[in-house]
Amino acid sequence: MTAPPPKPIWQRVISVIEGDQLRANAVSPYFSGLPDVVNGFVTLAMHAMQVTGARALYHALRLDYPGSHFKPEEPLYALRFTTDAVASAYVTDKPLARSIGKAGGVDLGYGPPYLGNGFTGGENYNLPEYWMIDGVLDPGAELWFIPTEGEEQLAAILTGNKEWVGVTGFGN
């Protein structure tokens, strides 16, 4: 018998304020008020591996949309996680969704960065994008601090008790 394929690793980019809230286990309503639930746009981590630094992610993910609280000159955090709730990730393009056997994608009615074609519209990048609803993070999810330029640093890990525990040495 063959082993099931590994779970995909998802990535959700969040602001420094939201990341600091997670690290302090003071979870905002943006995360459904739960430390282990994600809603909103996500990418597969493997699709964004070549994008390094917060400034590059800002441009690649088109975080310059109207009302955005992201700024190209500020660092950010990235949640990297697996989930058993695979049905909570939806292709954001109806024709693309139909091509993989889904009745339809998610028509969110948003403007940029949501282009309605299943991809972000960033400079020099076309990253597949999904919409996640109530994605329950598996224990071991990671919170990475991403400076505008330079090396990422692991900041916290989600425990089986649904608490974020800071990594020794982060912020030093």
Which two three-digit tokens encode residue 148? Answer: 């505008």
Mean pLDDT, residues 104-121 taken together: 59
Q: 50 is written with which tokens?
A: 């070549």
Handedness of CA 21, 44, 157, 148 (dihedral sign): negative
Between 82 and 39, the higher pLDDT residue: 82
Confidence (pLDDT) at 142: 97
End-to-end CA distance of the chain: 47
Over the stretch 61-108, which tens digit does the pLDDT of each residue have? 888 877 888 999 999 999 999 998 655 666 666 555 555 555 555 555
Q: Which tokens sit at 25?
A: 């286990």
Lowest mean pLDDT among 6-15, 81-90, 117-126: 117-126
What average pLDDT does the segment 3-23 reach?
88
Q: Give the neighbor-by-neighbor strand order of the sheet with 142-146.
A: 89-91, 130-136, 37-44, 10-14, 76-81, 142-146, 153-158, 164-166
Of 44-53, 97-106, 147-156, the least confident: 97-106
Q: Mean pLDDT over all residues of the chain?
A: 80
- Tokens (6 digits) for 71: 């700024």
Token pair 């519209």 is found at: 121
- How many whole angstroms separate alpha carbon 31 and alpha carbon 29? 5
Confidence of residue 163 (pLDDT cuts 50, 70, 90): very high
